[in-house]
Amino acid sequence: MAEATPIQPTADITPEGAELQAEERARALAGEPPFAKSRPDPNRIRDSIRDAVIAAVVSLALFGPLVGLETTPLGSTLGLVPHWRTVAIIVAAVFVVRLLLNLFVWKSDKPVTASIGRFFGDEPVTFRDWLPILVIAGLLVAVNLVAGDVGLVVARLALAGLIIVIARKFIGPYMPALPYGKVFGVLFILVALVLPVISETYIPQQSRYLLDQGIVVLTYVMLGWGLNIVVGYAGLLDLGYVAFYAVGAYSFALLAFYFGWSFWICLPLAGVLAATWGMILGFPVLRLRGDYLALVTIAFGEIIRLVLINWADFTGGPNGISNIPRPSFFGIPFERGEGGFADVFGLPFNPVHRIIWLYYIILVLALVTGAIAARLRKLPVGRAWEALREDEIACRSLGINTTKTKLSAFALGAMFAGFAGSFFATRQGFISPESFNSLESFIILAVVVLGGLGSQIGIVIAVIFLNTVFELRELAEYRMLIVGLSMVLIMVWRPRGLISTRQPTAFLRQRKAVTADNISQGHG
């Protein structure tokens, strides 16, 4: 043996086409199961009843103490008032509904909900599918006519949802490529622009309330769009976002208090200061990932709040700062009498003028935030943010400085929060650390997550929805229950938020949305 055996090329060992076969298998498994649908369970009824009994027992264990026993003060001690009748009704309802669901939906060959499901899915609806959905709509209308406050509101919300779903099915076949996002965006801007005019003309009594709500909605939309840069684009979970909102508000309040500067001078300064704090806080934090980043951002949010409370000499401590100057209309104050806005323009004095002005300021601020964020996403820096969310190591292998990229996202998000905070201070005229607790951070984050990470339109829908539920007075103490319930429902049905697809920032031939399952959520 004069020559050593050459090394066997391993490529020849792999059988031809094995890869193709494997791919085919994978495709077959991913699609419909290859086996026929199993025949109906012969023990269907027995199983259904057993399941319903279990559910009833569980609900008895849950609602027995929760609903069945009410504590009331009885002289100097506590007494228990039982509500066994209510518990019995609840448990019976759980049993019946669960049994019906089992028999006609879950264990049935032809689930009665299939036709309703078609309205939500992409399959075409047939003539017969209309019957159940119209029955439900009719029931909701009936509830509208007879029910009490809470039932009324719930029925109306459900009816509104149903109308949207039906309308989508109607429009869908005729306009398959309708850009829903764009249509909704334009509608939102148009409605927002004319809202004060319409409300002042047609519903002057409720106008003030409506405009106040509009201001709140727009403030949260602006905050949501700002946080979206950090959480949605760059994938950095920031639970202390309210800190920058506070920095913006206090920057303006303190600058106005100590130097007497006006809103328009302080607004950019507040943004710059908040961005600076974003960088100062971001720098040590950004080497952390995931859960650790989230924890540290909560801590930083709290630190800022505690500093505001305890540095009483400078910030006014828990008493806050009052008499913050109101914004003027290009130098003309909104005051009664000589030289005021109403006087200069020859209008009768009306305090709502100031509200309308505030409304338009926040509208412009929010739209500018949205436009800049949307534009930045399509620039190299925005693509780097999204690439960072997708894979940080690959980013570094392509020469992207991940620290700077993360910091830029953090600073920009903070800057928009600073603007919003500055607006908040001038609107309220009074701020205190109470307004900036971590619950506020969670609400803003909830808005971003519910709307769909990265989606601006989704955030608008989520803010309007949450604000509506919070404001419905008929719901009274059920508000948080409904908010929680709707969050659970959205997370079950659309785990990646209302609008979960991603529009690419560049395309060669055709813009195709990227589906949710490809998009990474970021690792911190």
Partner 1 sequence: MSAWETDPLLQIERLTMRFGGLVAVNSLSFAVGRGDITALIGPNGAGKTTVFNCITGFYKPTEGRIAMALASGAFAQVGAATASGKTTIDGNLYLLERMPDFEIARYARVARTFQNVRLFSGMTVLENLLVAQHTRLMAASGFSIAGLLGLPRYREGVRAATERATYWLERVGLIERADDAAGDLPYGAQRRLEIARAMSSDPVLLCLDEPAAGLNPRESAELNDLLRFISGEHKTSILLIEHDMGVVMEISDHIVVLDYGQKISDGTAQLVRNDPKVIAAYLGVDDEEVEHVGKEARA
Q: Are 422 and 267 in contact (CB under 8 A)?
A: yes
If one asks whether residue 394 binds partner 1 (CB under 8 A), the answer comes out as yes
Distance between CA atoms of residues 461 and 468, nearest Å: 11
Q: Which one of residues 99, 133, 227, 376 is an interface residue with partner 1 (CB under 8 A)?
A: 376
Provide the CB-side half-sphere exposure for 336 (13 A, CA): 2
If one asks whether residue 179 binds partner 1 (CB under 8 A), the answer comes out as no
Q: Are 66 and 91 in contact (CB under 8 A)?
A: no
Number of residues that bind partner 1 (CB under 8 A): 58
If one asks whether residue 431 binds partner 1 (CB under 8 A), the answer comes out as no
3-state secondary structure of 5: coil
If one asks whether residue 505 binds partner 1 (CB under 8 A), the answer comes out as yes
3-state secondary structure of 522: coil
If one asks whether residue 391 binds partner 1 (CB under 8 A), the answer comes out as yes
If one asks whether residue 287 binds partner 1 (CB under 8 A), the answer comes out as no
If one asks whether residue 177 binds partner 1 (CB under 8 A), the answer comes out as no
Beta carbon of residue 49, minimum distance to partner 1 (angstroms, whole number) = 45
If one asks whether residue 407 binds partner 1 (CB under 8 A), the answer comes out as no
Beta carbon of residue 393, minimum distance to partner 1 (angstroms, whole number) = 6
Distance between CA atoms of residues 104 and 132, nearest Å: 13
Taking phi over 0 as left and psi of -120 to 50 as alpha, with beta for the rest, 108 belongs to: beta
Q: Which one of residues 78, 177, 393, 492 is an interface residue with partner 1 (CB under 8 A)?
A: 393
Q: Which stretch binds partner 1 (CB under 8 A): 211-219, 238-246, 269-277, 394-402?
A: 394-402
- Please give the structure tokens belonging to residue 180: 């829903």
Q: What is the 8-class DSSP label of residue 294? A: H
Q: Which stretch binds partner 1 (CB under 8 A): 3-11, 31-39, 43-51, 464-472?
A: 3-11
The residue among 79 and 380 lying less far from partner 1, judged by its C-beta, is 380
Q: Are 336 and 350 in contact (CB under 8 A)?
A: no
- Please give the structure tokens belonging to residue 518: 């490809």
Beta carbon of residue 363, minimum distance to partner 1 (angstroms, whole number) = 21
Distance between CA atoms of residues 476 and 319, nearest Å: 29
Beta carbon of residue 462, minimum distance to partner 1 (angstroms, whole number) = 21
The residue among 12 and 338 lying less far from partner 1, judged by its C-beta, is 12
If one asks whether residue 510 binds partner 1 (CB under 8 A), the answer comes out as yes
3-state secondary structure of 123: coil
Q: Which one of residues 227, 298, 519, 524 is an interface residue with partner 1 (CB under 8 A)?
A: 519
Which whole-number Å values give the CA distances from 430 to 321, 424, 444, in the listed order? 6, 9, 21
Distance between CA atoms of residues 427 and 106, nearest Å: 53
- Please give the structure tokens belonging to residue 101: 């669901």
- Please give the structure tokens belonging to residue 51: 């399941």
Beta carbon of residue 523, minimum distance to partner 1 (angstroms, whole number) = 13
Provide the CB-side half-sphere exposure for 217 (13 A, CA): 25
Beta carbon of residue 365, minimum distance to partner 1 (angstroms, whole number) = 17
Q: Which stretch binds partner 1 (CB under 8 A): 173-181, 270-278, 392-400, 480-488?
A: 392-400
The binding track of 330-359 with respect to partner 1, each residue x by CB under 8 A or -, is: ------------------------------
- Please give the structure tokens belonging to residue 158: 């459900």
| Interactions with partner 1, residue window 19-78 (CB under 8 A) | 19-20, 23
Give the DSSP letter string of 484-513: HHHHHHHHHH-TT-SS--B--S--SS---P
Q: Which one of residues 127, 202, 258, 507 is an interface residue with partner 1 (CB under 8 A)?
A: 507
Q: Are 366 and 218 in contact (CB under 8 A)?
A: yes
Q: Are 434 and 443 in contact (CB under 8 A)?
A: no
Beta carbon of residue 12, minimum distance to partner 1 (angstroms, whole number) = 7
**Phi and psi of 18, rounded to 5°?**
-65, -40
Beta carbon of residue 382, minimum distance to partner 1 (angstroms, whole number) = 9
Q: Which stretch binds partner 1 (CB under 8 A): 7-15, 423-431, 443-451, 471-479?
A: 7-15
The residue among 17 and 148 lying less far from partner 1, judged by its C-beta, is 17
Interface positions with partner 1 (CB under 8 A): 1-12, 14, 16-20, 23, 372, 375-376, 379-381, 383-384, 386-387, 389-391, 393-402, 502, 504-512, 514-515, 517-520
